[in-house]
Structure 1
Amino acid sequence: MALNGKVAVVTGGAQGLGKGFAEVLLRHGAKVSLFDVVEDSGNATKTAFDKEFGPDRTLFCVCDVTSEKQFTDAFQKTVQSFGGIDIVCNNAGIINETDWEKTVAINLSGVIRGTYLAVEHLKKQNGGRGGVIINIASMAGLGPLPTCPVYTATKHGVVGFTRAMAMASEYGGYGVRLNMICPIFVRTGLLSSLDKEERAGDFYHLRDVNQKIMERFGTLEVSDVAKAFEKLVLDESKNGAALYVKTEGADYVKFPTQEDIEEKSKQ
Structure 2
Amino acid sequence: MALNDKVAVVTGAAQGIGRAITEILLQNGAKVALLDVKETEAKTLKKALDKQYGQEKSLFLKCNVESEEQIKAALQRTVETFGGIDIVCNNAGILNEGEWEKTVSINLVGHIKVAFLALQHMNKLTGGRGGVMVGTASMAGLGPFFTCPVYSATKHGVVGFTRSMAMASTASGYGIRFNAVCPGFVQTDLQANIPVNLGQFSQLRDIAKQLEEKMGIITPSVVAECVLELVTDETKNGEAILVKHNEKTYVPFPNPI
Q: Which category of TM-score, normalised to the shorter sequence, fits these structures?
A: over 0.9
Match in the other structure for 2:80? 80
Instruction: Map 1:69-108; keep pairs closer than 5 Å.
Output: 69-108=69-108
Moved more, 241-250 or 177-186: 241-250
Distance apart, 1:216 and its partner CA: 2.3
Match in the other structure for 1:222? 220
Secondary structure at the counterpart of residue 34 of structure 1: strand
Instruction: Map 1:1-267; keep pairs closer than 5 Å.
Output: 1-196=1-196, 199-258=197-256
Distance apart, 1:251 and its partner CA: 1.5
Verify the 8 A CA contact 1:193 1:200 in the aligned structure 2.
no
The structure that has the greater radius of gyration is 1
Verify the 8 A CA contact 2:222 2:246 in the aligned structure 1.
no
Distance 1:239 1:12, change over 3 A: same
Verify the 8 A CA contact 1:66 1:109 in the aligned structure 2.
yes
Distance apart, 1:215 and its partner CA: 2.1
Verify the 8 A CA contact 2:96 2:151 in the aligned structure 1.
yes
Separation in 2, partners of 1:65, 1:33: 14
Which sections of structure 2, spanning at least 5 residues, go unmatched? none
Verify the 8 A CA contact 2:5 2:31 in the aligned structure 1.
yes
Q: Deviations over 1:58-90 (max 9, x none)?
A: 000000000000010000010011010000011
Q: Give the AA of the match of 2:80.
A: Q
Verify the 8 A CA contact 2:134 2:180 in the aligned structure 1.
yes
Secondary structure at the counterpart of residue 9 of structure 1: strand
Separation in 1, partners of 2:123, 2:255: 26
Separation in 2, partners of 1:42, 1:221: 19
Verify the 8 A CA contact 1:10 1:91 in the aligned structure 2.
yes
Verify the 8 A CA contact 1:118 1:133 in the aligned structure 2.
no
Separation in 1, partners of 2:187, 2:39: 22
Secondary structure at the counterpart of residue 258 of structure 1: coil
Secondary structure at the counterpart of residue 98 of structure 1: helix
Moved more, 125-134 or 242-251: 242-251
Distance apart, 1:175 and its partner CA: 0.3
**Fraction of identical pairs, as percent:** 55
Secondary structure at the counterpart of residue 73 of structure 1: helix
Aligned residues: 257
Verify the 8 A CA contact 1:7 1:84 in the aligned structure 2.
yes
Separation in 1, partners of 2:185, 2:246: 13
TM-score by length of structure 1 reads 0.94
Distance apart, 1:248 and its partner CA: 4.4
Q: Give the AA of the match of 1:241.
A: E
TM-score by length of structure 2 reads 0.98
Separation in 2, partners of 1:6, 1:222: 22
Q: Give the AA of the match of 1:103.
A: T
Verify the 8 A CA contact 2:95 2:103 in the aligned structure 1.
yes
RMSD: 1.0
Separation in 2, partners of 1:258, 1:60: 40
